[in-house]
Structure 1
Amino acid sequence: MACAALLLCGIGWGRAAPADADAVRAEIAALLASTASTDAAAVRRAESRLVALALRAPEIFREEMVRRRREEALMAAMLGEGAYAKPAGLFFAEKLAEAQRALDDGRAAEARVLCEAVLALGCDAAAGVRATRLARLARDREFAGETFVANLRPSADVIGADAAPSFVLELWNRSDRPAKATMAVGLELQVSSSTLGTGGQPFSEETTELIALPKDAVAIEPGTAWEHEFKLKVARVWEQPYVIQRITARGRLVRVGIESGGRMSDRAMRVPHAVTFRAPGDVAPAVRDPIGAMRAAIAHEDAGTLHAASVVAAWEDKVDAAVEVLLEGARAPAPIGPASFVLLRLLSGQNHGTDRVKWIVWYLRSERVAVPRIFER
């Protein structure tokens, strides 16, 4: 009878006022629930009321029918019922494989929920062992990932031409309890350096370095960070005259053991990238605000700063804004004008000589100036 009432929505009789729509939907849900009652009289009353509502608000009934069918299909797909029926063992295996992928991708909470659902549904012994193991790993990673975070920052944004780059490793305890961390293996870093010579020639290299850390456990109070400063050995100084060098470090703590509040976690921990710049001159303004430094360099006829700031803008993926400033600089006399044309060729990969009009036409026809590979992060 309830289904017959829903079918009446195809008859175009009546229309519920918008203000009544939510009330009608709520009443439909309540009446459909009443049709499952063991009280025959209550079922008949609910069915009669559903028929009346179907006649009065057919559009809402149609919407409800579509929504409920969609929900039933989704539930059947999730539970493997009806057209989606599959052997229970295969269903559990697929869900555990999905949990493993989530764990590998760093989605520990999602992996834990999937494993707990498999266990709650009553899987076989083999699947239960795997689900229990994955759930434990997920809980450990969820615990460590939410409360303990590694960070890397440069000791200084800009260093001198002959200085060794140094960074500070931070391990934050965001929980409300004291913790102890053991980093016996060390910090594995991928270090990349990009250098621009005074003649405009780019140079880049990538190396790895393992930073030794204290072998003993370190205590970290709630809301604080343990810090360790170190110098990089592999980021060598550019032997030829150069304008600026960008040094990027990123990596992972190979193995971190964390103990807090009676819980323990033992896993690798990613360390986000950090950047420092090395230059023979004062390039701090170019590092802080490359586009602003370019405009100031043009105003003060400082070709060296213009060169450094343009390169930093390219490294920071601000090539479009840099090209606009250089097109303005191209109208200036030497040394800014010639330097602007050189930098336009460097940042764009194009070559329109010293014809400012051709450069402007090219720029206006370009949707976006692509970052040359030598400036990619």
Structure 2
Amino acid sequence: MVHMSERVESDVVIERNVRERLSKVIDPELGKSITELGMIVGIEAVPRDIIDAGKPVVDVTVRVELTVAGCPLTQQIIDAINDAVTSYPAATLVPHIAVGSMSEQKLTQLVDDLKEARRRNPFNKPGIKTKIFAIASGKGGVGKSSVSANLAATFAALGYDTAAIDADIYGFSLPTLLGAHGQPTNLNGMLMPVTAWGVKTMSIGMFAGADRAILWRGPRLHRSLEQFLSDVWWGEPDVLVIDLAPGTGDMALAVAQTLPNAELVVVTTPQPSASDVAVRSGLVALQVPMKVRGVIENMSWYDHHGERLTIFGEGGGARVSQQLTRALRYDVPLLMQIPLETELRQSGEAGHPVVLDEHGKLADHDLAHRFEQLARTLMQ
């Protein structure tokens, strides 16, 4: 016979162990444990008087408070809690999950604590592990944003915690290319980036009125970047991809000043009219503490019935690489050449990065393999 004191002690042990398991459940937006965030407000274990497969059966009620009512990731969190509870080895636990939302006071305190932990720009503090790649071009129309979107999607598919900022304020396109059509969740002034294909994304194009003409100048552009960095909860991603505006204007300088640890990747096409201008975007590194990591040549050739057609000429990427290597006095390699493929455009317009299959895994074709090699090279 089990004494009542032993049974109560057993219940307490189960509740403690369940809490320990729930501490491994991570909020998908905030990137922190749901217990650390104060989302678990109660756990109660009530044993039944039956045995199942040699193990006692216990009803476990878990009371959860989400950060906002109607959170779009509610079911994902509930499923993770169910998995954590039912994986308990010593007993058969039957979960009952009661879902509520935090009070305004509790949410305010949580946001204040998160902001205090961040202390403004989280990507420019000592010891930060995030590798930052700013994708630049000398002119528009060379496929810079397409490269940014597919590179970010490749990083995410390889298992890296990936973030992407659309810093092309006038010509934002990352939301379309990544299929990130939602709006950021606002937690008392702190924004949650929209996640698509595993990439946490922020763009001015996600906000109401962004379809109107934007006439911002230097200070306001700089402030928009600071807000994307400090007013958005990114967690601590492994990699951040920044899609810059073409040229060497205010936003490029703002990124260099705000994120001196960023590495520049220059995108060009083969013809001299593009490659000559692309060199200028790399020469920004002579004026600011930024390293140019390498060059990507887009639209290098077109395969037509087995014949390789160089529609836009040849050698643009190599010319940019050579000129930047001479000017900067360190090796600026040609990292990748990308063929001209209609699938790249079509998939981008559909919000599906061409490097991914329908399940979000890296696709098995030449272009995906090229981006995978590029991502691995950049992360070395």
Q: TM-score, normalised by structure 1?
A: 0.25
Q: TM-score, normalised by structure 2?
A: 0.25
Higher relative contact order (CA 8 A, sep 6+): 2
